[in-house]
Structure 1
Amino acid sequence: MTTNVIIQQPPVLSVKAVESDEWTTDMFDCCDDLSISEYEMGEYTRSFLLTAFFWLLLPPCGCHGSKILVVPVDGSHWVNMDILLKELHSREHQLTVIRSASSWYIKESTPHYTSINAKLMEDEIDLSFYERLLQRTLEIRRKGPVMRFLYQQMEMGSIQVLGHGICAKMAALMLEDSAFMSQLRVARYDLVLTDPGLPFGVFLAHYLNLPMVYNVRWVNSGDSHFLMAPSPLSYVPVTGSELGDRMDFLQRMQNLLHYGASFLQERFIILPRYQELVRRHFPQAADLLSMQRSADLWLVRADFVFEFPRPTMPNVVYVGGFQCRPARPLSDLLEEFVQSSGEHGVVLMSLGTLISALPMEITEKMAAAFARLPQKVIWRYVGERPSTLGNNTLLLDWIPQNDLLGHPKTRVFVAHGGTNGLYEAIYHGVPVLGLPLLFDQFDNVLRLQVRGAARVLEAATFTGEEALEALQDVLGNPSYRDSMQRLSRLHRDQPLSPLNSATFWTEYVIRNKGAAHLRSQAFGLPWYAYHCLDVAALLVAFVVASLWACVCVCRKTCCKACLSRKRKMD
């Protein structure tokens, strides 16, 4: 365990005092306009200051100072989790983060949280795993639709066998470490905040018997909605199907096949990996699925400006884009480069946190397309310099992505389709040229394409001419920017910012020691009761019995009539 000291924010009293001074000045200005006398002015001022003084002496309301155990997922998931943690820390909560000693992005020592090192997935899988996965994915994308589907499911199955096998082993080691678990129990946390993309936090919340809040978009089997809300396959596309919410017959069949594959992987690959662990440590739980569904609150990183409309639940709060913020000024050198673009503006390209660079043959084609543009290009890039790179392109191993997207000279964002980057593009109204590579990225860029705010390139097969034509189309056709700016207006038009909403509802769970009243009882029903198949079976049996009784009565009546006529004839 690291024993980092939490550095508190400046006292609330000093912040409020500044606000009060500013308000007092405004009040004086207002009084001047109303021509209030000096005596009345003094009375107003004394009354206001006295009220403000007693108000500042009151203890803060709510649940400030609560102790929160945070179990995150590394990589891009950590980027937005860290933003939420900073906001919670500013509200005086004490945060403890469980991380791997070899974590990729989660720092061991920061001002806003303390950390505990544990053996997690990052100890077994490094970032080079994703680069090898990208190579295999590009090969699969070059196949026809049927073979692509089959190979995708085989690849996903092998990833799940590897990943969940490691995860179950790490979770077992954690739960069987008596010193580690005793340390967590003694700390007496008020809440577990976790990303259920990996189930470590789920196990710890149940073991410690604590309320559980998810910062979530994906669970281990796919989109979180399929785990906690009704999801009719007629208009809710399954992750990986690359479909919209308007499907014809063949597309609905395709969606059903994707759901069937996902269901089978969940039932026969994922859940069995954890069954022995659940049986040993959580005898009251049926399986991992039931444990995951018991979260008190789901902070879902989605916004229906971006997502397709679908059913949801009372304990779901949508906080998509909570990491977005107004752009800050660029460094002098970067601002000079941006301004040198003149009226043509700038194209920005980034591939996120997991993939630093594309395979060289794809990189060369993108560099050649960029070189033929009149715009300047800023490209977040790590690796060998491409030979086709033009003088208009600046390669950087890190960029202030949000600040560049918010710059008025940024014209297009060439993105891999990660949700963090796409929400920043929506927030700032910058159209997207999608270059999806892995996982949900294909579905993400499709959502913007359906709304007319993006165009998509197939990374595995595009040519240099196709890349150039797509860039010129997004740059020259104003409909892309108009559509994205409309999405930006809709995304910003909310009564409460996504970050404030996330912190309010997290504190709501702490204040009320859970939110069981918001959880649906549907998950406690067996599948046949959930779909009322038992009721339907009874009704069908009643109808069949009634028809059978009617037939028997009719047959008996007819037989009696026939027998009576026969006797009369005799």
Structure 2
Amino acid sequence: MLSPVLLVASVLFVFYSVARGGKVLVFPVDGSHWVNMKVIVEELHSRGHNITVVRASNSWHIKEESPHYTSITLQMGQFHDYMVDDLSSELLQLRMKGRSFSADLALGNLVVERFSVMHRDICTMVTAMFEDESLMRSLQDAKYDLVLTDPAFGGGVFLAHRLHLPLVLNVRWTVRGEAHFDIAPSPLSYVPYPGAELTDNMTFSQRLLNVFAYVFTRGTFSQMTDAHYTALSKRYFGPDVDYFSLFQNADIWLMRNDFTFEFPRPTMPNVVYMGGFQCKPAKPLPVDLEEFVQSSGQHGVIIMSLGTLFGSLPSDISEEIAAAFAELPQKVIWRHQGPKPSTLGNNTLLVDWMPQNDLLGHPKTKVFVAHGGTNGVQEAIYHGVPIVGLPLVFDQPDNLSKMVARGTAKVVDIATMDRAVFVEALREVLHEPSYRENMQRLSRIHHDQPMKPLERAIFWIEFVMRNGGAPHLRTQSFRMSWIAYHSVDVILTLMMALLLLLLILFLTIKKCLSALLKKKVKCE
């Protein structure tokens, strides 16, 4: 039985939570991005906030029914089936051809083609929302406090502007690329552009490569997105609104990284770092999995997962990986879909799904074989587990290159890998202490902060609710022209003034010398 005082306190707490709760409209991106957004949604709900999620009817991960949110389901799909199946398969096939200019160009062209279609469909979906008077009226009447969105696609940003609501971004990528380059000063002399796989200490040739990567990649993103979003912006907001200024005008940028992962670089007051916010202490494993882990004895366990898009690999690669694992004394837990490799050893357990965070936090886990997705890399940092990387596409090679630079990972090119190469990489990371020591040092740095990343993210979301935005933290630099931003007009004005001053000085001296010469001639 609860005591009367405790009962009253509990009731008051419930009423207080409801009273202080805000209303948040969430426009997420599906796939692994939703895995991140869901963590924030559930935490906001636990604190008494009312959450509404905009989702597509054929959404991959975003469920229509949830105890944590109500949903608005739109009949137009945000992600087509080929995003999950055909695109990932084609990208993997291109990746297996190795790294070359022609292969990278073909991969880039495929990404531009498919993602351009996705951005077009997002714009079509937003248009359908804006044209649905009943839906828009209900959204206006709901009186939301803010819009929380992932700007890898632009739907949530446009919706926030249409509803005149404060905007919070859960971000690592925008429709134009890595988010820092859209909001913060980013000198290419020491800020490596994602994809170039460089550090913050570059030679001249590397700086040249960095500039080339920046120009080429930004052009590629513009090719995918500008036409679609510009047309949408002109249709609903007029010709004077630059669509990307709507992104840059966001109140808070919740960055899904931090400087245990990124190299030091300039930032802005409204950028809040929450790297590893989805990580949490390990929970006990299921009984059967715990028994398998404990059976590894002193050798420990290797876990392998290639994320949500790449559950299976070509059979010849799977055979080589299985054969390599079979040569090791460690036990292996491998998230694998597809036919069972014929070379699979008795030490390897194939699973359709694994509690990745809990396994990484287990004391017997020695190495994480990963594709280099941001979520997996940050979980490895959180738990201090070194990585053997098999990067495939998107930001994965660049993520792993940062880990290599910090001495916490060994990367293997999957296009040229065989069992001997893979075994050698595994043994190096297993037996060279520096990999684990360096990763555990990063883990200590990550944990050594005044508040947890998720708490920091929630604080700033609630800050925007309480204050109706955060305009005092927003820079106006993005409203300036390139010439004004870099003070080109000021520099040219000063140079012209200096030249004019020098010209006047020259003419004065010339005049004086001429007068002196004339006087001298007269005297003679």
TM-score by length of structure 1 reads 0.86
CA contact (8 A) 1:285 1:291 kept: no
Structure 1 alignment gaps of length 5 or more: 1-12, 19-51
CA contact (8 A) 1:216 1:300 kept: yes
CA–CA distance in structure 1, aligned partners of residues 93 and 113 of structure 2: 12
CA–CA distance in structure 2, aligned partners of residues 178 and 132 of structure 1: 40
CA contact (8 A) 2:57 2:73 kept: yes
Tell me the residue number matched to 1:72.
28
CA–CA distance in structure 2, aligned partners of residues 235 and 14 of structure 1: 62
Letter of the 1:111 partner, please give it.
P
CA contact (8 A) 1:62 1:511 kept: no
CA contact (8 A) 1:217 1:302 kept: yes
String of CA shifts for 1:356-404, please: whole Å, max 9, x gaps: 1122222121111111111111001111111221111111111111111
Tell me the residue number matched to 2:338.
383
- Is it true that 1:182 corresponds to 2:137 in the alignment? yes
How far the C-alpha of 1:132 sits from its partner, in A, is 2.9
Tell me the residue number matched to 2:280.
325
Q: 1:271 aligns with which of 226, 248, 254?
A: 226
CA–CA distance in structure 1, aligned partners of residues 459 and 259 of structure 2: 20
Tell me the residue number matched to 1:445.
400
CA contact (8 A) 1:212 1:514 kept: yes
Tell me the residue number matched to 1:5.
none
Structure-to-structure mapping, 1:482-521, within 5 angstroms = 482-521=437-476
Q: Residues 58 and 330 from structure 1, CA distance in 2 versus in 1: closer, same or farther, beyond 3 angstroms?
A: closer
Structure-to-structure mapping, 1:288-307, within 5 angstroms = 288-307=243-262
Letter of the 1:447 partner, please give it.
K
Q: 1:128 aligns with which of 39, 60, 85?
A: 85
Q: Secondary structure at the match of 1:85?
A: helix
How far the C-alpha of 1:123 sits from its partner, in A, is 4.1
How far the C-alpha of 1:63 sits from its partner, in A, is 7.2
Q: CA RMSD in A?
A: 2.4
CA contact (8 A) 1:298 1:317 kept: yes
CA contact (8 A) 1:293 1:523 kept: yes
- With 115-124 and 441-450 compared, the bigger mean Cα shift is at 115-124
Q: Residues 285 and 493 from structure 1, CA distance in 2 versus in 1: closer, same or farther, beyond 3 angstroms?
A: farther
Letter of the 2:331 partner, please give it.
K
- Is it true that 1:82 corresponds to 2:38 in the alignment? yes
How far the C-alpha of 1:16 sits from its partner, in A, is 9.8
Tell me the residue number matched to 2:177.
222
Tell me the residue number matched to 1:255.
210
CA contact (8 A) 2:17 2:47 kept: no
CA–CA distance in structure 2, aligned partners of residues 412 and 535 of structure 1: 55
CA–CA distance in structure 2, aligned partners of residues 224 and 501 of structure 1: 19
Q: 2:95 aligns with which of 107, 119, 138?
A: 138
- Is it true that 1:194 corresponds to 2:159 in the alignment? no
How far the C-alpha of 1:56 sits from its partner, in A, is 5.3
Tell me the residue number matched to 2:267.
312
Tell me the residue number matched to 2:426.
471
CA contact (8 A) 2:95 2:103 kept: no
CA contact (8 A) 2:177 2:218 kept: no
- With 122-131 and 288-297 compared, the bigger mean Cα shift is at 122-131
Q: Residues 147 and 549 from structure 1, CA distance in 2 versus in 1: closer, same or farther, beyond 3 angstroms?
A: farther
CA–CA distance in structure 1, aligned partners of residues 110 and 305 of structure 2: 26
- Is it true that 1:345 corresponds to 2:300 in the alignment? yes
Residue correspondences, number: 522
CA contact (8 A) 1:197 1:219 kept: yes
Tell me the residue number matched to 1:412.
367
How far the C-alpha of 1:149 sits from its partner, in A, is 5.5
- Is it true that 1:392 corresponds to 2:347 in the alignment? yes
Q: Residues 562 and 426 from structure 1, CA distance in 2 versus in 1: closer, same or farther, beyond 3 angstroms?
A: same
CA contact (8 A) 2:17 2:48 kept: no
CA–CA distance in structure 1, aligned partners of residues 310 and 4 of structure 2: 42
Q: Residues 518 and 161 from structure 1, CA distance in 2 versus in 1: closer, same or farther, beyond 3 angstroms?
A: same
Tell me the residue number matched to 2:61.
105
Q: 1:94 aligns with which of 50, 55, 67?
A: 50
- Is it true that 1:422 corresponds to 2:374 in the alignment? no
String of CA shifts for 1:66-112, please: whole Å, max 9, x gaps: 11100111111111211111110011111111111111111110111
Larger radius of gyration: 1
- With 65-74 and 280-289 compared, the bigger mean Cα shift is at 280-289
Q: Residues 519 and 432 from structure 1, CA distance in 2 versus in 1: closer, same or farther, beyond 3 angstroms?
A: same
Tell me the residue number matched to 1:357.
312
Q: Residues 102 and 203 from structure 1, CA distance in 2 versus in 1: closer, same or farther, beyond 3 angstroms?
A: same
Q: Percent identity over the alignment?
A: 50
Letter of the 1:485 partner, please give it.
Q
How far the C-alpha of 1:168 sits from its partner, in A, is 2.7
String of CA shifts for 1:402-435, please: whole Å, max 9, x gaps: 1111111111000000111111111111111111
String of CA shifts for 1:512-565, please: whole Å, max 9, x gaps: 010011101212222111111111111001011111222223333444445555
Tell me the residue number matched to 2:326.
371
Tell me the residue number matched to 1:41.
none
Letter of the 2:16 partner, please give it.
P
- Is it true that 1:287 corresponds to 2:242 in the alignment? yes
Q: Residues 16 and 206 from structure 1, CA distance in 2 versus in 1: closer, same or farther, beyond 3 angstroms?
A: farther
- With 222-231 and 360-369 compared, the bigger mean Cα shift is at 360-369
String of CA shifts for 1:317-336, please: whole Å, max 9, x gaps: 11111111111111111111
CA–CA distance in structure 1, aligned partners of residues 464 and 4 of structure 2: 27
CA contact (8 A) 2:95 2:393 kept: no
Letter of the 2:306 partner, please give it.
L
How far the C-alpha of 1:286 sits from its partner, in A, is 2.5
Tell me the residue number matched to 1:30.
none
How far the C-alpha of 1:131 sits from its partner, in A, is 2.1
Q: Residues 55 and 67 from structure 1, CA distance in 2 versus in 1: closer, same or farther, beyond 3 angstroms?
A: closer
Q: Residues 285 and 511 from structure 1, CA distance in 2 versus in 1: closer, same or farther, beyond 3 angstroms?
A: farther
Letter of the 1:212 partner, please give it.
L
- Is it true that 1:436 corresponds to 2:397 in the alignment? no
Tell me the residue number matched to 1:33.
none
Letter of the 1:540 partner, please give it.
M
Q: Secondary structure at the match of 2:48?
A: coil
Letter of the 2:52 partner, please give it.
T
TM-score by length of structure 2 reads 0.94
CA contact (8 A) 1:68 1:191 kept: yes
Letter of the 1:102 partner, please give it.
N
Letter of the 1:97 partner, please give it.
V
How far the C-alpha of 1:285 sits from its partner, in A, is 5.5
Letter of the 2:213 partner, please give it.
H
CA contact (8 A) 1:100 1:123 kept: no
CA–CA distance in structure 1, aligned partners of residues 404 and 9 of structure 2: 55
Q: Residues 136 and 471 from structure 1, CA distance in 2 versus in 1: closer, same or farther, beyond 3 angstroms?
A: same
Q: Residues 57 and 296 from structure 1, CA distance in 2 versus in 1: closer, same or farther, beyond 3 angstroms?
A: closer
Tell me the residue number matched to 1:116.
72
- With 314-323 and 174-183 compared, the bigger mean Cα shift is at 174-183
- With 156-165 and 324-333 compared, the bigger mean Cα shift is at 156-165
Q: Secondary structure at the match of 1:121?
A: coil
How far the C-alpha of 1:170 sits from its partner, in A, is 2.8
